[in-house]
Amino acid sequence: MTQPSSPQYGAPPQDGAGPQQGFPPQGQPSGPAPSPAPAPQGGPAGQRAPSGQAGQAGRATFTPSSRAISPADMERATDLVGAITGVFQSRVVGQENLRQTLLAALAAGGHVLLESVPGLAKTTAASALASAITGSFARIQCTPDLMPNDIIGTQIFNYGSGTFTTQLGPVHANVVLLDEINRSSAKTQSAMLEAMQERQTSIGGEVHRLPEPFMVLATQNPIEEEGTYVLPEAQMDRFLMKEVLTYPRPGEEHEILDRSTAGSLTGPRVAPRTVSLDDIRFLQEKVDEVYVDPAVKRYIIDLVFTTRGSGPRPVPNLTQSVRVGASPRGSLALMRVGQANALLQGRDYVTPDDVRAMRYAVLRHRLVLTFDAQASGITSEQIIDAVFHAVPMP
């Protein structure tokens, strides 16, 4: 039997194929997704697939020959995830995608860029995650006149001793919130590159290591252009994931009003349980131990190569819409987030569903679209759906 040709983005999914949003004309619905496939993350409804629901064949294929993580360690990891989730849900209503993204990034040791219109709890979610950890937290409100030394630190001359002393900046914290990062200048944005990638800063010729664990949560508002500076692709790629927040559902917004009248909107009346820095290091070590089958690694490679216009089943005319595909850092991010998602689901092995679960958050900021694609209203999410639809799952 001959293999079916690779579908173009915009074509409806074939029977039995993975979920596909398609490229519907503007203002028209994309049609229902095929029932055998799990619902994808994001999309108009902002829903994620329950990534732990792999079939029996998948479990037999992707499991390691022996346990990668002991039952006691898995139980401890599950308990820690539950504690952080409790703190998050006590401060933020709904936003399940955001919760999963922040938890996965924290476990994977990566950084997150949050984007939405004002008032959707970006800053609240970041501070809620920080409050769940007993480490240090720093909030930096970015403005056009913010200088690099205001973030990383500077040297101060001591007139009494006649020497310079180093004053470390707020970036030397376990969790750093960069609020409205696109309001800072390009010089200040670039000052964060070394801190985010190398986990260190250079002040006066001296290298200062950042504390471990270290996580940057940055927010930006996409609707304002005056007085803002677009993040360069080099810095966007440093973020492990980019989450785009959506409006809450009516029931969730009703709960927001109820919490406001009850006086518990900004925080619970009873102090929630927090986790220590050693607990976070434990989670990150367990993520390293999650088993990744060679078939899953090959699946990730095929996906990333397809975004570059090649791969085993290239998407026709993809290069007309994508100027730059995902880099090897994208492959590492897909695998790392897949490992973190598997641990969050209580498994010590990665399935293809773990790779698909957070595909939008991992890849949407790594694809550079052409001008024609942007003018036609094509989004990165649609390109990602086309790529995942074209590449067969192992």
Q: What is the pLDDT of residues 42-73, one digit of tens each?
A: 443 344 444 444 444 444 378 888 888 899 99
**370 domain-assigned:** no
Residue with tokens 């390109």: 383
Mean pLDDT for 135-160 is: 87
pLDDT tier for residue 13 given thresholds of 50, 70 and 90:
very low
Alpha-carbon distance of 134 to 234, in angstroms, equals 31
**200 domain-assigned:** yes
Q: Which of 394, 304, 391, 393 is nearest to 9 (CA)?
A: 391
Q: In this predicted structure, which of 11-15, 105-109, 152-156 has the lowest mean pLDDT?
A: 11-15
**Which pLDDT belongs to residue 258?**
86
**232 domain-assigned:** yes
DSSP 144: T
Q: Nearest 5°: phi and psi at 178?
A: -100, 100
Q: In this predicted structure, which of 42-51, 152-161, 232-241, 360-369 has the lowest mean pLDDT?
A: 42-51
Report the number of distinct structural domains present in the chain.
1
Residue with tokens 């993580």: 69
Q: What is the pLDDT of residues 179-195, one digit of tens each?
A: 888 888 888 888 887 78
pLDDT tier for residue 225 given thresholds of 50, 70 and 90:
low
pLDDT tier for residue 27 given thresholds of 50, 70 and 90:
very low
Cα angle vertex 110, ends 222, 89, to 5°? 70
Residue 276 CA, distance from chain mean position: 22
pLDDT tier for residue 245 given thresholds of 50, 70 and 90:
confident
Judge contact between 134 and 281, C-beta under 8 A. Answer: no
pLDDT tier for residue 312 given thresholds of 50, 70 and 90:
confident
**72 domain-assigned:** no
Give the burial string for 150-183 (b: 16+ CB within 10 Å, else e). Answer: bbbbeeeeeeeeeeeeeeebbbbbbbbbbbbbbb
**Which pLDDT belongs to residue 37?**
38
**362 domain-assigned:** no
Residue ranges making up the domain that contains 178 = 111-257
Q: Is the pLDDT of residue 30 over 50?
A: no
Mean pLDDT for 293-297 is: 93
Judge contact between 182 and 231, C-beta under 8 A. Answer: yes
Question: Mean pLDDT in the chain?
Answer: 80
Q: Is the pLDDT of residue 9 over 80?
A: no
Alpha carbon distances (Å) from 355 to 3, 41, 79, 181, 297: 24, 11, 23, 28, 10
Q: What is the pLDDT of residues 329-374, one digit of tens each?
A: 999 999 999 999 999 999 999 999 999 999 999 999 999 898 998 8
Q: Is the pLDDT of residue 290 over 80?
A: yes
**377 domain-assigned:** no
Q: Is the pLDDT of residue 16 over 50?
A: no
Q: Is the pLDDT of residue 376 over 60?
A: yes
Q: In this predicted structure, which of 8-22, 62-76, 154-168, 183-197 has the lowest mean pLDDT?
A: 8-22
CATH code (residue 164):
3.40.50.300
Q: Is the pLDDT of residue 240 over 90?
A: yes
H helical segments located in the chain: 56-62, 71-91, 96-108, 122-131, 148-152, 186-198, 233-236, 250-262, 277-289, 294-307, 328-344, 352-357, 359-363, 371-375, 380-390
**133 domain-assigned:** yes
Of 166 and 74, more confident: 74
pTM metric for this prediction: 0.78
**51 domain-assigned:** no
Alpha-carbon distance of 74 to 394, in angstroms, equals 26
**Which pLDDT belongs to residue 35?**
35
**Which pLDDT belongs to residue 270?**
52
Q: What is the pLDDT of residues 97-147, one digit of tens each?
A: 888 999 999 999 999 999 888 878 788 888 888 888 888 888 898 888 888
Bridge partners of 216, per DSSP, are 176
Q: In this predicted structure, which of 25-34, 138-147, 218-227, 264-273 has the lowest mean pLDDT?
A: 25-34
